[in-house]
Structure formats: structure tokens, C-alpha cells
A and B are shown apart, each in its own frame.
Chain A
Amino acid sequence: NAGVTQTPKFQVLKTGQSMTLQCAQDMNHEYMSWYRQDPGMGLRLIHYSVGAGITDQGEVPNGYNVSRSTTEDFPLRLLSAAPSQTSVYFCASMTSDLSYEQYFGPGTRLTVT
């Protein structure tokens, strides 16, 4: 199993540009999430999904869109990048049994200039 994969690893955007961060998992997990990690702060939930076709907002959803057309894929779209979106982004999938173990992707380091 590849686990959770994310692309790209690094990205630099100009303010106002849009892009999609890709996330895929091959473990057939129902739950998937996007987090951002900023210096001095804990991981913060952007959006999450409890299954194909179902998404919901987390703690910091503004400026981001998601969709979940398949169990495997959960892309995160930045609609119009802003410097405040400079961060490291992690995608995670989670088992839906009682262990709720999370599997994280390697992260995407995004800089918006």
C-alpha cells in the first residue's frame, strides 16, 4: 500500500492564483481530512469528508474548496491564493473503526507571495 499520497511537495503561488492540492489514499478509508500547520499553532482542520459525496467544513475553511467524488481522492482547491494561506498542508485518512487511527500524507509546503 502507498498509504496517503500528496502532490505537489512544494509550491509557490502568486497572490490571486488558484491551484489544487492532490490527495489520494489506497486503504479504503471513509474519513479524509485536510489540515494546515502554521508555526506555533496546532494542526487546524480545513475540511473533512466522511465518505464519497459528503464533505463538511472544519475550523478554517475560508478560501478553500473540496470535493470527494471517489473514496480514494480528496483534492483541496485554493480559489484565490492569499499570503495568509502560506502554510504546510497535510491530508489524512482515518479508519472508521474504534481505533480512529490517522494516516497522514507527507505534506505540501505552500508559499504565497
Chain B
Amino acid sequence: KNEVEQSPQNLTAQEGEFITINCSYSVGISALHWLQQHPGGGIVSLFMLSSGKKKHGRLIATINIQEKHSSLHITASHPRDSAVYICAGDSGGGADGLTFGKGTHLIIQP
């Protein structure tokens, strides 16, 4: 069974800090999705990556296939970045191939 482990579970930081959220995954997973769940509950897809690095605004996602590890970085963090960040391992595409981590609850204090 595929597994995805996220760390930390909870993270509180000051505005402006550089944030890193980590995701480790098991053999069988070939790509990683990063999702953001807003305080109101809505879930938005941020990235899907199978190699290298992707950047969107202040968000950067990296993946190391050999180490089975992915990171999500937030530069110049802002209170509006406060959310739950979820990684999901993808074992081959399609809805049945996703295994979700439990999420990292991020709070950015002004």
C-alpha cells in the first residue's frame, strides 16, 4: 500500500519567514501533488511534479525521486498563506492512484 508522510504536522511562523514543508513517500509513487486547503475548507491544487522543481509566485515545489522526498517552500510568508498544505502521492495517474498525507497546518503570524 502506498504511503505518504508529511512533516511537520503543525507550523507557526512570523510573517516574512521562509517556510518549508516536507513530504516523504513510498515506492510505487511516481509523482507528487501539492494542495492547499483554506481555513474555510476549500481545496486548491498548487502543483503536480514528477521531477525537478516548479515555481508559482512565492511557492516553490521540489521533488527528489531517488530519495522519495518532496518539499514545498514559501518565500516571504504572509498571513494569507495560513492554510493546511496537503501532499498526495500519485502512483500512476487517475483518481484511484492518489494517496493523501494528513496535511500540515501552517499559521503565519503578523
B39 within 8 A of A: no
- Over the window 91-113 of chain A, the binary record of Cβ atoms lying under 8 Å from chain B Cβ atoms (1 yes, 0 no) is 01010001111111011010000
B16 within 8 A of A: no
B14 within 8 A of A: no
Tell me the dominant secondary structure on chain A's binding face: strand
Q: From B31, which residue of chain A is reached at the shortest CB distance?
A: A100
For chain B, residues 68 to 110, give those with C-beta under 8 angstroms from any C-beta of chain A. Answer: 86, 88, 90, 93-96, 98-103
Bound state CA distance, A17 and B30, in angstroms? 41
Task: Verify A31–B94 contact, CB threshold 8 A.
Answer: yes
Could you tell me how many residues of chain B have their Cβ less than 8 Å away from some Cβ of chain A?
Answer: 23
Q: Which of A43, A45, A109 contacts B96 (CB 8 A)?
A: A45
Could you tell me how many residues of chain A have their Cβ less than 8 Å away from some Cβ of chain B?
Answer: 28
Task: Verify B42–A101 contact, CB threshold 8 A.
Answer: no
Task: Verify A101–B94 contact, CB threshold 8 A.
Answer: no
Q: From A49, which residue of chain B is reached at the shortest CB distance?
A: B95
Chain B residues within an 8 Å CB radius of A45: 95-96, 98
Task: Verify A40–B33 contact, CB threshold 8 A.
Answer: no
Bound state CA distance, A43 and B96, in angstroms? 12
Chain B residues within an 8 Å CB radius of A107: 41-43
With A40-B102, A42-B100 given, is the CB distance from A33 to B95 under 8 Å? yes
